[in-house]
Structure 1
Amino acid sequence: MGYLITSIPFFAGFAISFRFERRRMLNGVLLLAGLLLVAIGGLFALLDLPAVRDRVSGGELVFLAFLVLTVLLPAFLVLNGLQMVRREGRRLGNLLSLLAGVAIFGFAPLLLMLGKNAMPRALEVVVISAGFVVGYLSLAFAAFVLCSVGYGLLRPPSGADFLVVHGSRLIRGAVPPLLASRLDRARTLYAAGAARGAAPTVITSGGQGADEALPEAVAMADYLVEHGISRAEIVLEDRSTTTRENLVYSRELMTARNPGYRCLLITNNFHAFRTAMLARRLKVNGQVIGSRTAWYYIPSATIREFAGILRDYRVLNAAVIVLIAAAYPVSMLFQPH
């Protein structure tokens, strides 16, 4: 019961934080803390039931959790990574789920050795410190996934003045399926606005890559015109090469046309929450809408987005990781020999 009561402030904090700003990672941290406390309290309550206590031990549950985390989860990641390579090629971004699965498989035997006290003291210190860091990253990743999923379930607000479609790499000068899904979502939102008598202006945002025959913004605009949107309703932002530049340059265009603008930013669902976090930091007045993505693409893409957030907040995360990694070795100095 104590765990359930302790979870209440975290759920209340989440509700307040989310009410005032849905584009922050703190929401996921508070929600995850509350859910973990509820899960722990529920597990202890379940184990106290005589019918359960006589059949299942705490050790068996720990073994089951270890099996899921060190065998089933990495097996899924490896299989997904192989599918990504087969369908999308061997670029580093497509290898992330495969590499994560292999890393977990490699770390699991060390945990078994640690549990059996079968490793040298120095290696034990390294493994335990690494385990703390992995635990921190795992919890941060879980909070990010909660934020991403929850943010993606929100209905898009109505009344936007602009729809900003973020670009992605063209394939032989044409719009690939990943980018087409963003443009199709923009078409749906545009049609909804037009039906209310307030059709938004569409901004196609994307510059020209070194391997592209034309700017992404131009190809995107051509796609929209082919599918029924008037060229007069489209504004090109053809300078950006990163998500940050998408936001900065589009913000300049929107502010010049309407200083009190409201916008919807459109990207793929796996990229929506990180884009929303960045939009908040850059003071872009809008929310992010995610378009659908092929399921097999999502695990690697989500890991890539999480790595991007670690990079975006690298000073804070580096400080936390150093403190966590140093905690156990420092505590050894104060233990009697």
Structure 2
Amino acid sequence: YVAFMFLCFLFYGALYGRLRVRRRADYVVVLGSGLIGGTTVPPLLAGRLDRARKEHARLSRRGRRPVLLTSGGQGPDEKLPESHAMADYLVTQGFPADLIEREDRSTTTDENLTFSKALMEKANPDYRCVIVTNNYHVFRAAVTARRTGVRGHVIGAPTASYFWPSAMIREFVALLVAYRRTNAAIFLLVLLSGLFIWWLGWPSTGAVALAGQ
């Protein structure tokens, strides 16, 4: 069961990651991922921000100027909220400061999307958004966005090849935990079905053995 679910996870994750964003977007939301030394944007997060800038430029060419929303609170080992460091990075790359908004309370993906949703809905109840994360995180972020009611599509930034396998396993485990009751119920059903089938076949196996004697 676990192997089958992992294969489904890989397949649907790859399929979703190839979908193209065709709708309008009022916001480009970038999910935080931790800071180096409590202040510095790491390469993983810089990749997300660079992908967000490219997506913002693409949407702007269509005649819109979406707001770029950086999402991330302050961890216990960080000297400032991730969203502030992310905004500072964007400004140093030449991105207009007046098009950046910060969500600085979240500490998990669920909170990233829940708190960002509240900000977007307050400004524009009919909003649409593009959510940017790393490619290994796209599928879980999309599942979380659907669960929290965020109206948007998730796109991914490239991830170093050496980091991708372990990150994908971690994402799969996180999804199993998020739906642990459903998975536990299905796993138990599969187990009981197997035991029932084995029980049905056991008497006939014993009869054949006796007949052989």
Count how many residue pairs are aligned between Structure 1 and Structure 2.
Answer: 202
Name the counterpart of 1:232.
98
Deviation of residue 299 (structure 1)?
Answer: 1.0
Name the counterpart of 1:281.
147
Name the counterpart of 1:154.
19
Check if 1:141 corresponds to 2:6: yes
Residues 223-263 of structure 1: CA distance to partner in whole angstroms, max 9, x if unpaired? Answer: 01111111111111000000000000000000011100000
Residues 271-295 of structure 1: CA distance to partner in whole angstroms, max 9, x if unpaired? Answer: 0011111111111110001110001
- Give the TM-score normalised by the residue count of structure 2: 0.91
Q: Helix, strand or coil for the counterpart of 1:165?
A: strand
Alignment map for 1:1-337 (pairs within 5 Å): 136-172=1-37, 173-334=39-200, 335-336=202-203, 337=206
Distance 1:281 1:313 in 2: 11
Relative to its length, the structure with more strand (as a share) is 2
Instruction: Return 5+ residue gaps in structure 2 as ranges.
Output: 207-213
Residues 82-111 of structure 1: CA distance to partner in whole angstroms, max 9, x if unpaired? Answer: xxxxxxxxxxxxxxxxxxxxxxxxxxxxxx
Runs of 4+ in 1 over 6 A off after TM superposition: none
Distance 1:163 1:310 in 2: 28
Q: CA RMSD in A?
A: 1.2
Distance 2:21 2:135 in 1: 13
Relative to its length, the structure with more helix (as a share) is 1
Distance 2:23 2:89 in 1: 24
Distance 1:145 1:332 in 2: 31
Distance 2:123 2:47 in 1: 27
Residues 159-197 of structure 1: CA distance to partner in whole angstroms, max 9, x if unpaired? Answer: 210000000010111000100000000110112223333
- Give the TM-score normalised by the residue count of structure 1: 0.58
Instruction: Return 5+ residue gaps in structure 1 as ranges.
Output: 1-135
Q: Helix, strand or coil for the counterpart of 1:296?
A: coil
